[in-house]
Amino acid sequence: MSERWYKEAVIYCLDVETFQDSNGDGCGDLPGLISRLDYLSRLGVTCLWLNPIYPSPRRDAGYDISDYYAIDPRFGSLGDFAELALEARERGIRILLDLVVNHTSDQHPWFQSARRDAGSPYRGWYVWSESEPADRRQGIVFPGEQRETWTYDDEAKAWYFHRFYDFQPDLDWENRAVREEIKKVMGFWLQLGASGFRVDAAPFVLEMTKPDDDNPPHDFAILDDWRQDLQWRKGDAVLLLEANVEPGDLPSYVAGRPDGPNDRAHMLFNFLLNPRLWLALARQDAEPVVDGLKTAPRLAAMAQWATFLRNHDELDLSRLTKEQQADVFRAFAPKPDMRIYDRGIRRRLAPMLGGDRRRMELAYSLQFTMPGTPVLRYGEEIGMGEDLSLPDRDAIRTPMQWERGATAGFSDADPADLVQPVRTRGRYGSASVNVLDQQDDGDSLLSWFERLIRRLRDCPEIGVGTCTVLDVPLPRPVLAHRFDAPEGSVLFLHNLADTSVTLDLGRQDGADTVVEVFADGGYELPTLRLTGLELHDYGYRWFRLRRGRGD
């Protein structure tokens, strides 16, 4: 594949522990994932993003890592990972690993050595204070669950800094030894077959502890160093950053020229657009998306956005105003137990949209036609729901529903022994929502997703082209945008409202013939001119614009 493979990819995010159990111990594992690669290939996935698979006390879903050079024994071995990389590669699927290096677990040998002995070489790998910091209650990431960012350690007789939970001490990224060690970690996994990393909490990794006039707030030399080392070790490996920062700061994370290659990260999650998509869906008004597309920072030509609707965390609405948040909460999380951290929603998409198939299709058609590379969370392709009886973000981290039954085909273990309970009853339980039933149904959501991804393959302009919002009079619920690239031009229409509309777009520049390539059905396609176009309630239509009359 070309070096720009990440611009034409479909990324599928999953937790190994909740995807497929192969040995009946109630926990998903790497051999189980290998057994499901054909399913993922048929769906159209070209890249897997694996949530942390390293040894961990798992007090934070594996984001508290105790060894960067191993696999959690519950998931398998390093040999299993190498086999996964091989089997995936044979199916045209690459693997991104979570790189969680802002902090370690407090059980990591580095931290245990640092706290026991002030003379330990690892003491300087963490951030310490001999006196109580004045800002120990500032910078809280998890309101309601976290009360401080500095904790006193009785054994070390000092305070240590933790941006997240107190069992996740931060590494000191101003220490050259830390930087060199993490480069070794990255090289290790690239050698075993990984194609890159999703970097967790990237702004905190780059954050300087004592910024001043001579020391900027963030040290982007870390990213420069990573990029150079990555390209030397594996030329087509990529970095995908979690960086929920101000719009003006985003270009610095990818660097490079708008008309040329970039020098730092290859991809950024689009945290600016995601809440605007949900606001637009809540209000049945395309204006938030139009505004997001028109005001998006311009990235270097080889840099890429990663788009998403739901992921492994809460749906973070913190970039919306309080009034806008209230509209989204009212529409999609009306009850307090559906919300989290005073800023987010802990639900999956299907129940958020009331199980309305038309709205679900609209939402994902909208996401998959946004500038960038789409990221899909496991289970979304069949319309799984959440389990609000589980704490915090565990509500959306339940086992994959492969078939009917007490364990949904996820495991042969007793249901009581599963790593997370399977939801079997109700509208979104495995008896109603599962892969096996949907594979046999050409009209199922799963079958629709397979068609969606095939059509995405036919429209590479989405990943590599220039996006333009059509400057024509439109009803507020309608979004009309197009992409232009050397490959060609494509046009997309989406109606966010529950009433149908008729549009007149006129002749499009550079197009003599219009060919419809994907739609929600029931349309009679006009030719040559985009006039008298009907758009159903929650409707969407994809067109290819061609020069020449054609057939």
Catalytic residue among 242, 314, 361, 380: 242
Catalytic residue among 8, 29, 200, 450: 200
- Residue 249 catalytic? no
Q: Could you give the maximum distance between any two Cα atoms of the chain, in Å?
A: 79
- Check: CB of residue 160 under 8 Å from CB of residue 142: no
Q: List the one residue out of 197, 248, 252 whose CA is nearest residue 226.
A: 197
Q: Is 215 left (phi over 0), alpha (psi -120 to 50) or beta?
A: beta
Strand 478-485 versus strand 466-469 pairing type? antiparallel
**Cβ–Cβ contacts within 10 Å for residue 333, how many?**
22
Which residues on adjacent β-strands are paired with residue 14?
50
- Check: CB of residue 485 under 8 Å from CB of residue 465: yes
- Check: CB of residue 543 under 8 Å from CB of residue 535: no
**Measured between alpha carbons, how far is 108 from 67 in angstroms, rounded to an integer?**
6
Give me the sheet containing 513-519, strands edge to edge.
466-469, 478-485, 488-495, 540-546, 513-519
Q: List the one residue out of 514, 510, 509 whose CA is nearest residue 533.
A: 514
Q: Which tokens in the block code for residue 113?
A: 């050595």
Q: List the one residue out of 365, 366, 371 whose CA is nearest residue 484.
A: 371
Burial of residue 331 (number of CB atoms within 10 Å: 0-12, 13-18, 19+)? middle
- Residue 361 catalytic? no
Residue 305, SS3 per DSSP? strand
Residues 6+ apart with CB under 8 A from 310: 348, 349, 377, 380, 396
**Measured between alpha carbons, how far is 220 from 202 in angstroms, rounded to an integer?**
10
Q: Residue length, the chain?
A: 551
**Measured between alpha carbons, how far is 95 from 123 in angstroms, rounded to an integer?**
33
Question: Residues with catalytic annotation?
Answer: 200, 242
